[in-house]
A and B are shown apart, each in its own frame.
Chain A
Amino acid sequence: MTSLIKVWELPGGIHPPQHKSQSLQLPLGEIPLPPFLVIPLNQHMGTPARAIVQVGERVLAGQLIGIADGTFSANTHASTSGTVLAIESRAIPHPSGMSSESVIIEPDGKHEWVQLTPCEDYLQLDRLQLLDKIRAAGVAGLGGAGFPTAVKLAPKSTQVIDTLILNGAECEPYITADDMLMQTQAQELVAGTLLLSHILHHPKNLLIGIEDNKPTAIAAVKAAVAGAKALRSEAANIQVVVIPTKYPSGGAKQLTQILTGREIPSGHHSADVGVICVNVATAAAAWRAVRFGEPLISRITTVVGEALTTQRNINVLLGTPIDYVLEQHGFNLKQASRVVMGGPMMGFTLLDLAAPVIKTTNCILAPSTQELPEPQPAQACIRCGMCAEVCPASLLPQQLFWYAQAEDFDRLESHNLFDCIECGACSYVCPSTIPLVQYYRAAKGTIRLHEIEKEKSDRSRQRFEFRQQRIAKEEAEKEAKRLARQKAAEEAKKKLAEKAAEAAKNPATATDVITAAVIKVGATQASSEEEKAKLERLLNAAKNGLEFAQKTLVPNKTNPVITEEQLVKQQARIKQAEQKVAEAEKKLAEFVANNSVTSSIEPGTTAAPAAGAPAVDPSDPVAAAIARAQAKLTMSPEDKARANLESLRSRLAKAEEKVAAAKADGSPNLDALQQGAEKLQQKITEALAELKALGIKDEPVVAAAPVTAEPASAEQNAAQAAIEKAKAKAAAMASMSDEEKRAEQIQSLQNRLTKARERLAKAETENDANIDAFRAGVTKLEEKLQELA
């Protein structure tokens, strides 16, 4: 039977000392329940499971405590009955020595099982149901990689599986866990093989590969196969293949090559060449999961090393702390050089012994210092080429070493670094004791990180570009909206102009004008009140701001220490707030003053020309406006001109008053105000000229001026007094002789001219855009002056 299959030779490989006998002296043992179990949620390759139990909850043995998070993950179960003490981050067996989310269970000692659903005859079940059962039991590769078995057993439809290999090679020194399993659970292994064969649609070849250093196991498995034949005819297909002992023939790719002669292409899986390779312990666990519905909560682990008094294989609950296991086997810390999880070739040193036994813990090695001394310091590579000779993947370890040292990742990849199985054969034979595998592992890690970074940077680029596009789009939309608004405004203006033109064609009736005036006055009144309220609000807000700014100086909870920088900032803020308050106060005061002026003056100024109109109450602005409008209607052009002059004079008076106030305050608006006053003066002269043209002397107007002042003088108001003074001045000016007037005009023109020149010079030095306008203004003024002179 076994002779039927040809055994190919593995390229490379080494023959390190076996060290397998010491752990096989004693039968498979058990250890008592530990005081607590630490069950990590990621004992497998892939995404960690999600905890579904609460702290304080009582759980039973085999109860689901962590549910697989996605397909590439595995369920996690409670290993015994007890109480969940905590769900927290605990040390896990990992070369980094990092911690991971774990469920901590305090056993109650009863080891009560949950209700299991056994299955007498799995042939009755659908293949998917069988896979579900295996998945539900949380079976993951027990050989060391921890690959979720249900995923492995569901190859892609393109992959035709013709060979199922049960991996019982167990080539690494010290480890005898699979050996012990084959010795004690050979029937389960054979049943598991048949089960997997059924799931994989009965591949042609069913091979159980065992190294020839395990005669007991070989005999046991052969006996089991023979026994199974009586029950199931398919068992006759199972071939137990004895292979020569050589490290690392237990690697999945290596065993595939030994048993089938097929080399798995770089970057492919064994399923791509029609082979599925499953560890013997995994097959047995899958069988138990289907037959008894039993989840994976324990495994056989080799506890070995000269630092222990007892060396044997034990069936241990997953989650048992490793230090507890060691303690049960008489661990002598002083003697031990370190504690390794896995074998001496591929295992890693445990940094924290509190880490628990997990699904992939096939061996706990506690060697003495003599047994596994510290590695020798690395010497220079002497290019002996022994590493290349022993490499089972036919790589060039030396080249990889140079490139890893030089961090030349492109070359590493072109030399197929990722086909390295990290078996450590090259490091083992290296006469310069260079830790080659560590270089490869580091390089692989860096390349993986670079790939992750590259992916991230590509995503970043996409996001950034998308954002740019979005912003551009938003801008374009805004621009389009703005243009639309502009267009609408222009159209509205056009319509308004058309309306106005129409209105000019059909002269307005008296009543129209009056109502318009009424509305206007009402609006100004209302708006002035609103304005006042607004200003008051502004003042209040400014005051509040000041208060707030002062308040924040005090240290508070979130900011117990005030730095100097903050202090400076605060002070600046206070200053700003103070300025705002001052501004608001000023505005309000100005507004109040102006308002009282306008409301008190208007009735007065309009009362006189409207003498012919029905008597009106001068305090009522509405009535006054009506009167004014009526007066305007009835006025002759002469009267109109006079009224115009009148109003201009009153405005001038106001303006001059403002100028005086501004001068007193040293306001920055002084210039503007003065300009305004000058403009008014100019208008007055124009009005006078108009009157003259109408053939009327200025005298009556001059006489009218004091009249206009009369009603106003009745007011008992300080502001009023100032206005009166200004008005008187205006009146006096109006009464001046022509010559005097001219002199005055020349004076003012000269003033303006000098000012305009100054402005022009300033604009020239600053290269202002309005320089042309200024120049035109200066020439005009000069011309005017010449005219007058």
Chain B
Amino acid sequence: MIEFIFQNPILSALIALGGLSALFGAVLGFAAVKFKVEGDPIVEQIDALLPQTQCGQCGHPGCRPYAQAIANGEAINKCPPGGQATINALADLLDVEAPSLDSEHGEHLDVKRVAFIREDECIGCTKCIQACPMDAILGAAKHMHTVIADECTGCDLCVEPCPVDCIDMIPVETDLKTWKWDLPATNQKPVFHVIAQEVPVIPLETNVIATDLGRGSALNSDKPDGEKAA
């Protein structure tokens, strides 16, 4: 064996390399079959960030198709229900610059809304039931329909098909469960801005203004510093 290697160094090297590549190829091939990834995981991740209103405002029939489209390179700013928060999250995930919401697809509403059927006007046509992507409308032909408010995503899709215009989108009011404290009103940075801007060219009270300036700039740079500290 060793003799053979010494006698045919090139051949043995080739055999060794060939053997190694065959081995690794086999391992990789096995791994590719055994640990095959079902579907595109990035689509799942994008879909998890989308608000799941299934409203179709992005031009896709649901959130998942849009997630698929984003994975294929579509713009990430087409989701009005998600608003800027969703765009930022998507940009974060995909490591791209976060654009602002494309107003062509609609405006972001701060207040969540749910559909409400004025029940005495409902004629029981079932058109809204067919339109609802959430199955959140209950009812039968020629019987009154009603919306399950808890399941409604406020996608608006039921409003258009209603032949008697008896569906309203009403804003969801905060109750004791959904109430939360507000962030405190921001502090008085502008005061310092004014002082900073009023600096004369070469004033006599240089010291005073310098301190003020220092404080002002310290205030203005609060956030970036804080993030650095993180």
Contact = CB atoms under 8 A, between A and B. Distances in A.
Interface string A463-477: 111111000000000
Give the interface SS of chain B, mostly helix, strand, loop or mixed.
loop
Interface string A377-390: 11111000000000
7 contacts: A96-B176, A441-B181, A444-B180, A461-B47, A464-B134, A467-B135, A558-B121
A417 to B, nearest CB: 13
B226 interface: yes
Interface in A436-479: 438-439, 441-446, 448-449, 452-453, 456-461, 463-468
B161 interface: no
A42 B176 contact: yes
Contact of B183 (A377, A439, A457, A463): A439
A46 to B, nearest CB: 11
- 9 smallest A-B Cβ distances: which pairs? A445-B180, A402-B226, A457-B52, A441-B181, A460-B52, A378-B187, A96-B179, A380-B219, A442-B183
B229 A399 contact: yes
Given A95-B181, A460-B153, A463-B151, A380 B222 contact: yes
Given A378-B187, A457-B52, A463-B134, 5 more contacts: A94-B179, A377-B187, A402-B223, A445-B181, A457-B51
A435 B179 contact: no
A405 B223 contact: yes
Contacts of B227: 402, 406
Given A438-B184, A464-B133, A459 B222 contact: no
Contact of A461 (B63, B135, B175, B226): B63
Contact of A467 (B53, B133, B153): B133
Interface in B70-109: none
Contacts of B179: 94, 96, 98, 445
A458 B50 CA distance: 10
Given A380-B218, A402-B223, A402-B226, A460 B151 contact: yes
Contacts of A174: none
Contacts of B121: 558
A374 to B, nearest CB: 13
A411 interface: yes
A100 interface: yes
Interface centre among A445, A446, A453, A464 (most CB of B within 10 A): A464
Interface residues on A, range: 35 or more
A458 B153 CA distance: 12
A463 B135 contact: yes
B3 interface: no
Given A377-B187, A457-B51, A449 B180 contact: yes
Contact of B188 (A377, A460, A461, A465): A377
B54 interface: yes
Contacts of A435: 184
A449 B227 CA distance: 24
Contacts of A379: 187-188
Given A380-B222, A399-B229, A449-B178, A464 B183 contact: no
Contact of A378 (B47, B134, B184): B184
Contacts of B151: 459-460, 463
Given A381-B222, A464-B134, A98 B181 contact: no
B91 to A, nearest CB: 15
A78 to B, nearest CB: 23
Interface residues of B, number: 38
B182 interface: yes
Interface centre among B188, B189, B230 (most CB of A within 10 A): B230
B124 interface: no
Contacts of B223: 402, 405-406
Contact of A464 (B62, B187, B189, B215): B62
Given A406-B223, A406-B226, A464-B52, A442 B187 contact: no
Contacts of B134: 460, 463-464, 467
A279 B135 CA distance: 48
Contacts of A42: 176
A29 to B, nearest CB: 32
Contacts of A459: 151
A467 B187 CA distance: 49
Contacts of B183: 404-405, 438-439, 442-443
Interface in A370-415: 377-381, 399, 402-406, 411
Interface in B162-205: 174-176, 178-184, 187-189
Contacts of B53: 460
Contacts of A468: 62
Contacts of A442: 180-184
B159 to A, nearest CB: 15
Contacts of A457: 50-52
Interface string B123-135: 0000000000111
B54 A460 contact: yes
B212 to A, nearest CB: 13
Contacts of B52: 457-458, 460-461, 464
A379 B219 CA distance: 9
Interface string A672-703: 00000000000000000000000000000000
Nearest to B54: A464
Contacts of A411: 230
A456 B148 CA distance: 13
B121 to A, nearest CB: 6
Interface in B9-46: none
Contact of B175 (A98, A458, A465): A98
Contacts of B182: 438, 442
A405 B182 CA distance: 12
A548 B111 CA distance: 41
Contacts of B180: 441-442, 444-446, 448-449
Nearest to A95: B181
Contacts of A378: 184, 187-188
Nearest to A377: B188
A712 B206 CA distance: 125
A446 B182 CA distance: 9
Nearest to A97: B179
A380 B153 contact: no
A492 B80 CA distance: 56
Given A378-B184, A435-B184, A464-B134, A403 B230 contact: yes
Contacts of A443: 183
Contacts of A403: 230
A461 B181 CA distance: 29
Nearest to A450: B85
Contact of B230 (A94, A402, A445, A465): A402
A404 B64 CA distance: 31
A378 B187 CA distance: 5
Contacts of A448: 180
A439 B218 contact: no
Contacts of A439: 183-184
A457 B181 CA distance: 23
Nearest to B221: A380
Interface in A342-390: 377-381
A165 B85 CA distance: 45
A453 to B, nearest CB: 8
Nearest to B132: A467
B17 to A, nearest CB: 48
Given A406-B227, A411-B230, A460-B153, A452 B54 contact: no
A42 B153 CA distance: 28
Nearest to B63: A461
Contacts of A460: 52-54, 134, 151, 153
Contacts of B181: 95, 438, 441-442, 445
A581 B46 CA distance: 56
A100 B176 contact: yes
B150 to A, nearest CB: 8
B136 to A, nearest CB: 8
Nearest to A467: B135
A411 B227 CA distance: 11
A96 B177 CA distance: 11
